[in-house]
């Protein structure tokens, strides 16, 4: 049984993306929106691009619903659904969260 993980990707501009990988693949870097991220970088910046992937939570026994719940919890905790901080577009940022 493979480990299920929640990861945090950090881009060169400091913005983050939180996602899950139920295969714990070393070369999986998420499914964030290409166009949403690309708008923040020039063509030249995109030509030499370094990102950081951190595993911020892991489990070998959690169910799919538990992993989904943990992913949302960490998106809210890190505020990666706030466009000023990250690239998660779901869950939608509530007004009261942005003021935290």
Domain that holds residue 63: 4-98
β-pairing verdict for 16-21 and 52-59: unpaired
pLDDT of residue 55: 96
Burial pattern 10-25, b for ≥16 Cβ within 10 A else e, equals: ebeeebbbbbbbeeee
Model pTM score: 0.89
Distance CA 38, CA 60 (A): 34
CB 67 within 8 A of CB 83: no
Mean pLDDT of the chain: 92
Number of folded domains that form the chain? 1
Which tens digit of pLDDT belongs to each residue from 13-49?
Answer: 999 999 999 988 888 888 888 999 999 999 999 999 9
pLDDT of residue 32: 86
């Amino acid at each position: 049984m493979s480990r299920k993980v929640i990861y945090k990707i950090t881009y060169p501009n400091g913005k983050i993306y939180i996602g899950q990988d139920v295969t714990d693949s070393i070369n999986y870097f998420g499914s964030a929106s290409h166009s949403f991220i690309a708008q923040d970088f020039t063509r030249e910046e995109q030509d030499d691009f370094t990102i950081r992937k951190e595993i911020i939570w892991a489990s070998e026994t959690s169910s799919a619903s538990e992993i989904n719940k943990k992913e949302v919890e960490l998106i809210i905790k890190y505020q990666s659904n706030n466009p000023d901080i990250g690239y998660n577009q779901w869950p939608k940022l509530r007004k009261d969260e942005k003021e935290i």
